[in-house]
Structure 1
Amino acid sequence: MSNPILLSDGSGVIMRHANFPSCYVTRRHVDVWCPPVDTRKRAVRYPVLYMHDGQNLFDPALSFIGVDWGMDEAATRLMQDECGGGVIVVGIWNSPLRWREYMPDKPLAGLQGRALRTRFAEQAGGEPLSEAYLKFLVRELKPFIDKIYPTLPDAAHTFLMGSSMGGLISLYALIEYPELFGGAACLSTHWPAGEDPLVDFLGAALPRAGWHRLYFDFGTETLDADYEPYQRRMDKWVQRAGYRVGHDWLTRRFSGAEHSERAWRSRVDMPLAFLLGWKAGAAVHLSRLP
């Protein structure tokens, strides 16, 4: 089911699991990047980062605009700078149903969300499919990854990251399955998809502070120009939940940054290091996780 691709720059190995089967969603590729193997440490196991829009992560030829995130390069760079000990990156390709799969479902189920749900269904061609997507992630993909790869499978070492709608589904996955994931990085989160009712629902449902990490950011150009009021609204919820800036929560504003893979590539080191606790002052020790 997988075709290994050995990178020539010494930055690890990518295994492609083509057309990964699922009972919940349509088949899609899953790319898994593993750090370079140290033959002296054959028993080493790694934390895992699950990322959405996986075709945009490693290969510019496959990326949406011809620029990839350079996740293999970012992880290798941080390892070489002695900021951390490695991570496995799982890139889940999106599908033609991306909008529906990444849109949180429950925030649109109540009275406040009905109008938004109707509008979303009209614009996206149907109801949200995020519940099925998350079942694919936690019931099928994560068990497979933990079985095949040398992972640290507990929540303290399992994280999520995405941009735009991928930021929404990353946060939603953390909220729905806090016992499986230890943190989420949400870059340029597309809050306008559900406006204030979406922000308030997710904010009120945040997992308890001290046991998870939250990273948010946004730029000031193109689509990102609309995000700051929503992000500040979410920040109030995060504060209310007891998260502390620089300890288990960061929100960053990048002046002049646009809504693009190029922008996310330029700053991905920051959320990666923060989630994994690889930067001085950025880590919260999650040894208390069940």
Structure 2
Amino acid sequence: MRWIAALLLAFASAGSAQAQQGGRFDEMFVTAGAPIGEVHATVWLPPGYDAGKQRYGVVYMQDGQNVFVPARSGFNKVWGADKAVTRLVAAGRIAPLIVVAIDHPGKARYRQYFPQALYAAATPAVRAVFDKAAEGPITGDAYVDLLAHTLKPMIDRAYRTRRDAAHTGIIGSSMGGLISCYAFVRRPRVFGRAGCVSTHWLLTMPADLPPDADVLGLWETYLAANLGKTAGRRLWMDHGTETLDANYAPWQARIDAAVTRAGWVRDRDFASREYKGAAHEENAWAARLDDILAWLFA
């Protein structure tokens, strides 16, 4: 497959006072063949990047429209990842990080963020439910490969990064949490840190599934076969208790048990947190992003 990439400067120059105080934003476009097409990413470089020579860890975030700028977001809400990193660095809780926010593809988001191995393992009746929601072919494997084998090498060439898995994270929420977990499991030598936030483990709405469907069983089987030993990796999982997240506690409990059975130790190798009163939306995720980043990158 042929890949064409372009790196374009998008915002304030590195020499401006604003860039020094708040970091600097670049834009990156990756044009790929089918089935992914063009991918747009916004790269945030922390304050001091242009004046120094140090190398930085990198965190890749899904739903990039909702990471930095409210005007680009779907609901005028953002994670504020640049502000979270800046706060944590000032408090001495983490080293500075580069944040790469990858835009979702709009209507194709569901099928691009869908863990393909779970689709393949599902029964025909369950796959039919997934197919109806996806309205096209599942492309999770191609997307993970794009992140691991094309976008990350581009970032590593363009910026002073710490390239090892221990300094490379991936974070997403809801379906973005699914694909972040999948990338973490599928590419353990690339992504050594993962934040799976308000993850929609059931892959679709419960009412849409056949009565005998056990989607969480698909996850249990997949994690047992593929999660592997910790090898220094860290996995964060969480959920709220309101709106869509009100369904998540029993689903997350089964995932926690599967991770534990794989030999991972809670609060050492993985975290699983419940946030009382938190809804399924960006303001709630922004409110706990400090917790997530501090635990993953301490």
- In 1, Cα distance between equivalents of 2:257 and 2:63: 28
Alignment match, 2:82:
72
Cα separation, partners in 2 of 1:4 and 1:236, compared to 1, 3 Å? same
Letter aligned with residue 219 of structure 2:
V
Alignment match, 1:201:
221
Which whole-Å deviations, capped at 9, do the CAs of 1:26-82 have from their partners, x for residues lacking one?
A: 213210011111677x22000110111011001011111101110000000001111
1:211 Cα shift?
2.4
Q: Is the 8 A contact 1:191 1:198 kept in 2?
A: no
- Structure 1 residues not aligned, in runs of 5+: 278-290
Deviates more, 1:129-138 or 1:86-95: 129-138
- In 1, Cα distance between equivalents of 2:93 and 2:183: 27
Query: Match for 1:222 among 226, 243, 253?
Result: 243
Query: Match for 1:248 among 252, 255, 269?
Result: 269
Q: Is the 8 A contact 2:199 2:238 kept in 1?
A: yes
**SS in structure 2 opposite 1:227?**
helix
Q: Does residue 1:148 correspond to 2:169, yes or no?
A: no
Alignment match, 1:167:
177
Taking structure 2 as the reference length, the TM-score comes to 0.87
Alignment match, 2:31:
21
Letter aligned with residue 215 of structure 1:
W
Q: Is the 8 A contact 2:229 2:263 kept in 1?
A: yes
- In 2, Cα distance between equivalents of 1:139 and 1:167: 20
1:210 Cα shift?
4.0
Q: Is the 8 A contact 1:58 1:68 kept in 2?
A: yes
In the TM superposition, what are the counterparts of 1:1-290 in structure 2 within 5 Å? 1-6=7-12, 8=18, 10-17=21-28, 19-24=29-34, 25-37=36-48, 42-96=52-106, 97-110=108-121, 112-193=122-203, 195-204=215-224, 205-277=226-298
Q: Is the 8 A contact 1:57 1:69 kept in 2?
A: yes
- In 1, Cα distance between equivalents of 2:118 and 2:123: 6
Q: Is the 8 A contact 2:239 2:274 kept in 1?
A: yes
Q: Is the 8 A contact 2:216 2:255 kept in 1?
A: no
- In 1, Cα distance between equivalents of 2:49 and 2:168: 22
- In 2, Cα distance between equivalents of 1:158 and 1:202: 23
Question: Kindly, what percent of the aligned residue pairs are identical?
Answer: 40
Letter aligned with residue 68 of structure 1:
V
1:138 Cα shift?
1.4
What's the RMSD between the two structures over aligned residues?
Answer: 1.7
Letter aligned with residue 81 of structure 1:
A
**SS in structure 1 opposite 2:92?**
coil
**SS in structure 2 opposite 1:89?**
strand
- In 1, Cα distance between equivalents of 2:160 and 2:63: 23
Letter aligned with residue 32 of structure 2:
S
- In 2, Cα distance between equivalents of 1:13 and 1:146: 17
- Structure 2 residues not aligned, in runs of 5+: 1-6, 205-214
Letter aligned with residue 154 of structure 2:
F
Cα separation, partners in 2 of 1:183 and 1:46, compared to 1, 3 Å? same
Q: Is the 8 A contact 1:47 1:86 kept in 2?
A: yes
Q: Is the 8 A contact 2:23 2:49 kept in 1?
A: no
Cα separation, partners in 2 of 1:198 and 1:64, compared to 1, 3 Å? farther
- In 1, Cα distance between equivalents of 2:141 and 2:33: 13
